Amino acid sequence: MHRICISVFVAFALLLTSANDRAQQATSPQSGSPQQQPARQEPAPAQEQPPTRQDQGKIIQTVNLVDVLFTVLNHRNKLVPDLEKADFKITDDNKLQTIRYFSRQTDLPLRIGLLMDTSNSIRDRLKFEQDALVSFLYNVIRRNKDQAFVMTFDDEPNVLQGFTDDAGRLRDQIIGTRAGGGTAAYDAIYNACRDQLSHPPRPPGDQPDVVRRVMILISDGEDNLSNHTRAEAIEMAQRYSVVIYTISTSTQWIQLSQTDPDKLANRKTHLTEGDKILEDLAEETGGRAFFPYHVDDLDQSFQDIGDELRNQYSIAYNPTNYNLNGKYHKIRIEVPDHKGYQVRARRGYYAKANTIPSNANPGGAGE
């Protein structure tokens, strides 16, 4: 009787162990149990077969759309803000292009780089530079809409104040500058475009991510320390549609009337080599060069700059002769039916690959 009990007990234990094994198999991850199914779903397609060009969730696309911002002035140098797409003709290396997009863009927020030459060569004109840029601040910057940063350059570029709409903070940094050292102007332009104006602060709220990128460069135009060339500086400005306005600190002037003290007037005698460089920087990017004698001479000019930047046109096209060979392409925009109208725009672009996130706003780089 005792042996029978032991046999029954052993049989029962074996039966219980077998049932346990089957239960574990039924609930194991390999069994496909309904309770485990959510954790075993297939990976998302983006993980299995990622797009060939992806960066932190942003799809990357190669852009061959050339976007040109420009201003139109009449024969009296007054803005012409009411033209239509059909009024314009654009050529790329003398080949007529089809305008794909056209818009009139008014009252856009400004993002401005204020670049001060603080090298030893402008020591006697530093006060002029300070007064000129402070005047610009109070003539152009609108609080809660426009923003600017201050960069000085002597041996190397240096950002004194990042983007802000507080004119007082910008002014304090400007008037606290000191002069000394060599001149790295091209490096300053290059760095300001690449590091600051390439990704300026976005407008607040639900406004579209569209701003105007501007640079005010005040200098004698000399450069003796830059690692980058003038062409590289211009190319970087063109890549991000940065319009450069230059102000010369040159003091080579004469008085037109030497005989009548009551009719004395000041005028530039000729452009120095530095002046010509400043003029080239401005014209290549669609800006203007100024050669003032007194700071007061700039007040109206600054108001004109503000008006121009808030009343621009935009044309975009796909070049028919597009080839990623690094070649420089000349752009020309005309208003055929309006004689005497002048178009102020960048002169061209370099045909290089420009891959950008699909949700980014390059500001009309177009390379």
Find the mean pLDDT for residues 247-276: 71
Q: Write down how long the chain is.
A: 367
**What is the distance between the alpha carbons of residues 266 and 253, in angstroms, rounded to a whole number?**
7
- Name the residue with tokens 């005040």: 218
Find the mean pLDDT for residues 123-139: 94
- The pair of structure tokens assigned to 75 is 């024969």
Find the mean pLDDT for residues 70-89: 95
The band of 52, judged by pLDDT with boundaries at 50, 70 and 90, is very low
Task: Name residues whose C-beta falls within 8 Å of residue 241's C-beta, 6 or more positions apart in sequence.
Answer: 67, 69, 213, 346, 362, 363, 364, 365, 366
Report the sign of the C-alpha dihedral through residues 115, 121, 123, 129, in that order: negative
Q: Is residue 31 over pLDDT 90?
A: no
Find the mean pLDDT for residues 285-289: 95
Find the mean pLDDT for residues 132-153: 95
CA angle 230/209/83 to nearest 5° reads 80
Find the mean pLDDT for residues 265-293: 89
What confidence score (pLDDT) does residue 48 get? Answer: 33
- Name the residue with tokens 């976007």: 67
What confidence score (pLDDT) does residue 64 get? Answer: 83
- Name the residue with tokens 């009548």: 260
**Residue 124, CB-side half-sphere exposure with 13 Å CA sphere:** 4
Mean pLDDT value across the chain? 81
What confidence score (pLDDT) does residue 360 get? Answer: 41
The band of 207, judged by pLDDT with boundaries at 50, 70 and 90, is low
The more confident residue out of 159 and 323 is: 159
Q: Quick one: what percent of the chain has pLDDT higher than 70?
A: 74
Closest CA to 85 of 313, 310, 341, 311: 313
β-strand partners of 105: 312
Q: Got the DSSP string for 205-255?
A: TT--S--EEEEEEEE-S--SS-SS-HHHHHHHHHHTTPEEEEEE----EEE
Find the mean pLDDT for residues 306-331: 91
Q: Quick one: what percent of the chain has pLDDT higher than 90?
A: 60
Using only C-alpha atoms, the chain has a radius of gyration, in whole angstroms, of 32
The more confident residue out of 32 and 216 is: 216
The band of 68, judged by pLDDT with boundaries at 50, 70 and 90, is very high
The more confident residue out of 60 and 281 is: 281
Closest CA to 245 of 298, 207, 176, 297: 298
**What is the distance between the alpha carbons of residues 289 and 249, in angstroms, rounded to a whole number?**
11
Q: Is residue 7 over pLDDT 50?
A: no
The band of 74, judged by pLDDT with boundaries at 50, 70 and 90, is very high
**What is the distance between the alpha carbons of residues 130 and 178, in angstroms, rounded to a whole number?**
10
- 3-class DSSP state of 279: helix
Find the mean pLDDT for residues 142-157: 96
- 3-class DSSP state of 105: strand
- The pair of structure tokens assigned to 116 is 């001060």
The more confident residue out of 322 and 63 is: 322
Q: Got the DSSP string for 335-363?
A: -TTSTT-EEEE--EEE----EEETT---S
In single-letter form, the type of residue at position 249 comes to T
**What is the distance between the alpha carbons of residues 305 and 81, in angstroms, rounded to a whole number?**
14
pTM above 0.85, yes or no: no
What confidence score (pLDDT) does residue 10 get? Answer: 42
What confidence score (pLDDT) does residue 255 get? Answer: 53
- The pair of structure tokens assigned to 175 is 């008037």
Find the mean pLDDT for residues 181-197: 98
**What is the distance between the alpha carbons of residues 27 and 73, in angstroms, rounded to a whole number?**
79
What confidence score (pLDDT) does residue 36 get? Answer: 43
